[in-house]
Amino acid sequence: MPQQTQISKIGEFGLIEKIREIVGISIDDNLIKGISDDTAVYKCSPDKLQLLTTDAMVEGVHFDLTFTSMQHLGWKSIVSNISDIAAMGGVPRYAVITLCLPQKISVEMVEDLYRGVVQACKKYSCLVVGGDTTSATGNTVISISLTGEVDPEKIVYRSGAMVGDLICVTGHLGASHAGLKILLNEKNKYLNDTKNFKSNIEQYKTVLEKYLMPKPRLDISKILTQNIKVNSMIDISDGLASEVHHLCNNSGVGAEIWEHNIPVDSNSQRVAAEFSENIIDYALYGGEDYELLFTLTDSEFEKLEKLTSDVTILGRIVEQPKGINIIRESGERKLLGASGWDHFQSKKEQ
Amino acid sequence: MPQQTQISKIGEFGLIEKIREIVGISIDDNLIKGISDDTAVYKCSPDKLQLLTTDAMVEGVHFDLTFTSMQHLGWKSIVSNISDIAAMGGVPRYAVITLCLPQKISVEMVEDLYRGVVQACKKYSCLVVGGDTTSATGNTVISISLTGEVDPEKIVYRSGAMVGDLICVTGHLGASHAGLKILLNEKNKYLNDTKNFKSNIEQYKTVLEKYLMPKPRLDISKILTQNIKVNSMIDISDGLASEVHHLCNNSGVGAEIWEHNIPVDSNSQRVAAEFSENIIDYALYGGEDYELLFTLTDSEFEKLEKLTSDVTILGRIVEQPKGINIIRESGERKLLGASGWDHFQSKKEQ
């Protein structure tokens, strides 16, 4: 383990200096002030809408430091915000980051966290422009706010779904929850037999990566906004079931979700089977997949499928009175419960 | 005590509904989406710079719920952000609010917190446009990010102080710390003799208000940006000493602070005397006064004093090698330590 320095050793401003070194000098054509003044300052172009989102991760709620590295945590914290920007058809721009840090968090751990943040910022073309660091008597909190911009003609809301629209999703679902299951299981194995524990997770690489380093779907968002008329869109942070409900409630429509169309990959299926669980439940209620859920007409979908194969049709928008149902392969219909991850519910309603 | 509902009773989305009711429909000419989608959406006017700041308050670090009401906490949390916008010469616009809430926090407490936020937002013309609420296993955290805008010709940085500038401050200093001292003392009296405790704080109204409901100095900021050429500015959140150091370090200059000029009011002086302490220490190291510290030439100050009497000269900018000194009335010079409130230092360096 490399040298660990208590934050109290270098103080708040020493810590900020360290962070600034890692973030580097944040600058682009429009940014006038990044980290170095009371606020970040940036110009707005007249033909763009500005976006602003915020998302926090709390230790013991969103992450477990026994199996989440600080770098993964940093990556994931900013990606969850970028995903919100992608869901509007926008591109991310400037982030401010608040850290609440208990005594156990060392300078090096904060540096690692920022490395993860900056790694994602570089990959997805946004900049850290400010923040606030404070001590905490409780658990670690990372709270990020992110601005973005979007062409006013291209912006997509969750409220625009039309009866008859196809419901589509990017990538595959449930993998993030499968990754979490593996990590929790490894932790338990370790706690039960610390002496003889030997980690054996190489075979689960793809689901672990999906949980620890999810990718926001700016790629598909870009294809959509440049070429396709999408009627509504939302990102899947809390599980498919919950997001379908959000989208339908905001649009005043119902939905049919075709269970056998829900895209899941074989690695996730294998993990669910190992736990004698259903991968479809992971997809519906697991969350943190950060894929995009969107609706569009059949003719727009025909255009889309020529541009990407990474999108699956999983249902159709129907009139609101018909409700939100999941249709089994057998033809059986079942009301789809709304419950994704709700931080304040002690138990999922499934 | 009114009815208390556990957040788990209504769930995350129930809570958001409650918050939305209190915030109301956030709308103005440029806002396209407030609370109701993945991100807030707002237009930028071509002739304005956009500002973005973030500031968090953590229970046990920034506030003590035994003597801070949730409404005061909400007010103060947004005001600390507005104050940053004022320090750039800007006006606040859109806020996103993240809450990390342990089980002990009820729905009603969150409503009260938002009432305080909205009260300040109405007074200072900004809007809550989004946020994130999550449970917490540790202490309550409120993290706010706020955008603002400013005329590119009028923006003031902390880095522009010039040798020869007068150093000025708005209002008076140390009152917030005096208020905190009273509240801590009342708490101790209560804990020492719960049965016979009788609160007696009416006489301390002004200092308590300064601590619990500080006012951002948008009034003076407006006068300055409309009429006066200010070379540098910063808000006093961490104590005068700390802020003078920030301003000087960012500007590459030194400073003389004339101790006998530091503005303190009689109520704060009385409190300090009751604790056998020095009100000047409260002003230098206490923090949370949210006044503005700025520098300008003598001739600009002559213009300013015709427009407001709520500004005091308390020193002059000097060459950097001369350092940052405080000058006693006796003529004695002393290096001014940088230490304001540093969250990661276990003890102030005073």
Instruction: For B151-183, write each residue's pLDDT tens digit.
Output: 888 989 898 999 999 999 999 999 999 999 999
Task: State residue A26's pLDDT score.
Answer: 47
Residues B70-96: pLDDT tens digits? 999 999 999 999 999 999 999 998 888
Q: Which residue of B has its CA nearest to A88?
A: B38
Confidence (pLDDT) at A136: 86
pLDDT the model gives residue A239: 92
- Tokens 């556990």 belong to residue: B6
Looking at the structure, tell me whether residues B201 and B325 fall in a common domain.
yes
pLDDT, tens only, A194-229? 888 888 888 999 999 999 999 999 999 999 999 999
Average pLDDT over chain B, rounded to an integer:
87
CA distance A69 to A3: 16
Q: Other CB atoms closer than 10 Å to residue B298's CB: what's the count?
A: 11
Nearest to B42 by CA among B145, B152, B155, B147: B147
pLDDT at B347: 36
Task: Identify all chain A residues contacting B102, using CB atoms and an 8 Å cutoff.
Answer: 138
CA-atom Rg of chain A in angstroms: 21
More confident residue, A199 or B188: B188
Q: Do A41 and B48 touch (CB under 8 A)?
A: no
Residue A346 included in any domain: no
The whole-angstrom distance between B267's CA and the closest CA on chain A is 30
Whether residues A179 and A213 fall in one domain: yes
| C-alpha–C-alpha distance, residues A279 and A264, integer Å | 7
Mutate to test the interface with A, among B5, B55, B145, B248 (most CBs of A within 10 A): B145
| B341 lies in some domain | no
**Least confident window among A25-39, A253-267, A316-330, B246-260:** A25-39
Distance CA B13, CA B133 (A): 9
CATH for A145: 3.30.1330.10
Stretch B326-349: mean pLDDT: 71
B230: domain CATH number is 3.90.650.10
Same domain assignment for residues B105 and B216: no
Q: Which residue of A has its CA nearest to B100?
A: A58
> Residue A265 domain-assigned?
yes
Residue B224 lies in a domain: yes
For residues B193 and B315, membership in a common domain is answered with yes
Q: Quick one: how far is CA A296 from the chain centroid?
A: 22
Chain A contacts in chain B segment 2-61 (CB below 8 A): 7-8, 11-13, 15, 32-33, 36-46, 48-56, 58-61
The reply to whether A133 and A193 lie within a common domain is no
| Per-residue pLDDT, A340 | 54
pLDDT at residue B39, as a whole number: 55
B53, A40: Cβ pair inside 8 Å? yes
pLDDT at res. B95: 87
Give A1 or B120, the one with higher predicted confidence: B120
> Per-residue pLDDT averaged across B189-208, rounded?
90
| Residues in chain B closer than 8 A to A36 (CB atoms) | 159, 250
Minimum mean pLDDT range among A150-159, B192-201, B307-316, B340-349: B340-349
CA distance B285 to chain A (A): 15
Query: Which letter does DSSP use for residue B306 in this model?
Result: T
Question: Among B139, B163, B257, B175, which Cα is nearest to A58's?
Answer: B139
Give percent of chain A above pLDDT 90.
61
Considering only alpha carbons, which residue of chain B is nearest residue A106?
A: B344
Q: What is the band of A101 on the pLDDT scale with cuts at 50, 70, 90?
A: confident
Strand partners, B56: B143
Facing residues of A128 across strands? A95
Length of chain A in residues, anyone? 350
- Cβ of residue B195 closer than 8 Å to a chain A Cβ: no
Q: Please tell me whether residues B141 and B278 are part of one structural domain.
A: no
| In-domain check, residue A133 | yes
Last residue of a domain, one of A150, A176, A198: A150
Let me know whether A110 and A174 are in one domain: no
Is A199 at the interface with chain B, CB within 8 A? Answer: no
Site from A233, A344, A345, A347 to mutate, B interface, most B CB atoms within 10 angstroms: A344
Is the per-residue pLDDT at B346 higher than 50?
Answer: no
Same domain for B16 and B111, yes or no, is yes
Higher pLDDT residue, A266 or A155?
Answer: A266
Asked whether residue A299 is assigned to any structural domain, the reply reads yes
- Hey, how many other C-beta atoms are within 10 angstroms of the C-beta on A338? 20
B135 at A interface, C-beta within 8 A: yes
Q: Which residues does chain A have within 8 Å of residue B249's beta carbon, measured at their own beta carbons?
A: none
**What pLDDT sits at residue B340?**
54
Q: Which residues of B250-284 are buried (b: 16+ CB within 10 A; e: fewer)?
A: bbebbbbbbbeebbbbebbbebbeeeeeebbbbbb
| Structural domain range at position A48 | 9-150
Q: Which two tokens stand for residue A303?
A: 């255009």
Q: Is the pLDDT of residue A61 over 50?
A: yes
Q: Looking at chain A, which runs of residues are DSSP E strands?
A: 31-33, 40-43, 49-58, 91-101, 127-135, 141-150, 166-170, 232-235, 254-258, 292-296, 311-318, 324-327, 333-335
Mean pLDDT of B221-236: 95
Judged against a pLDDT cut of 90, whether residue B206 lies above it is answered with yes
Domain boundary among B125, B150, B175: B150
Q: What confidence category does residue A349 fall into, taking pLDDT thresholds of 50, 70 and 90?
A: very low
Residue A81 to residue A97: CA distance in whole angstroms: 11
What separation in angstroms does the CA of B30 have from each of A43, B40, B89, B120, B172?
16, 11, 21, 20, 36
Domain assignment of residue B318, yes or no? yes
CB count within 10 Å of CB A138 equals 22
The reply to whether B210 and B123 lie within a common domain is no
- B101 touches B110 (CB < 8 A): yes
Per-residue confidence (pLDDT) for residue A341, from 0 to 100: 53
Residue of B nearest to A246 (CA): B37
Q: How many domains does chain B have?
A: 2
Of the given ranges (A9-23, A81-95, A216-230), which has the lowest mean pLDDT?
Answer: A9-23
Residue bearing the bigger pLDDT, B274 or A2: B274
Distance from CA of A50 to the nearest CA of B (A): 6
Task: Give dist(CA B205, CA A305) in Å, integer.
Answer: 68
- Look at residues B126, B150, B174 and tell me which one is the last residue of a structural domain: B150
pLDDT digits (tens, 9 = 90+) for A285-301: 999 999 999 999 999 99
Model confidence over B293-329: pLDDT tens digits?
A: 999 999 999 999 999 999 999 999 999 999 999 999 8
Nearest to A294 by CA among A248, A238, A239: A248
pLDDT at B67 exceeding the cut of 80: yes
pLDDT at B350 over 50: no
What is the per-residue pLDDT for A106? 84
Higher pLDDT, B132 or A35: B132
CB pairs under 8 A between A and B: 243
Q: How many CA atoms lie within 13 A of A316 on its CB side?
A: 8
From B294's Cα to the closest Cα of chain A, the distance in A is: 13
Nearest CA in chain A to B338: A13
Structure tokens at B62: 């920034």
The pLDDT of residue A16 is: 53
Per-residue pLDDT, A5: 73
Q: Are residues A170 and A318 in the same domain?
A: yes
Chain A positions touching B134 (Cβ under 8 A) are 56, 58, 61-62, 343
What is the β-pairing status of strands B254-258 and B324-327?
A: parallel
pLDDT tens across B124-156, in order?
988 888 888 888 888 899 999 999 888 888 989
Give the integer Cα–Cα distance in Å for B318 and B255: 5
Whether B142 and B170 map to the same domain: the answer is no
Regarding predicted confidence, which is higher, A153 or A176?
A: A176
Asked if the model's pLDDT at residue B188 lies above 50, the reply is yes
- A350, pLDDT greater than 70: no
CA pair distance B325, B348, nearest whole angstrom: 19
Residue B17: per-residue pLDDT: 64
Whether A156 is covered by a domain: the verdict is no
Same domain, A171 and A118: no
Q: What residue ranges in A243-309 does DSSP mark as E strands?
A: 254-258, 292-296
Under a CB-based contact definition with an 8 Å cutoff, are residues B272 and B279 in contact? yes
* CB-CB neighbors (< 8 A) of B43 in chain A: 49-50
Specify the 3-state DSSP secondary structure of B42.
strand
Q: Mean pLDDT throughout B173-198?
A: 93
- Name the H helices within A138-239: 175-192, 205-212, 218-227
CA dist., res. A79 & res. A289, Å (int): 11
Q: How far is B7 from chain A (nearest CA, A)?
A: 6
Residue B152: its pLDDT value, please?
Answer: 83
Is A327:A256 a contact under the CB 8 Å cutoff?
A: yes
Which pLDDT value is given to residue A34? 47
B187 has pLDDT over 60: yes
Per the CB < 8 Å rule, is A130 touching B11? no
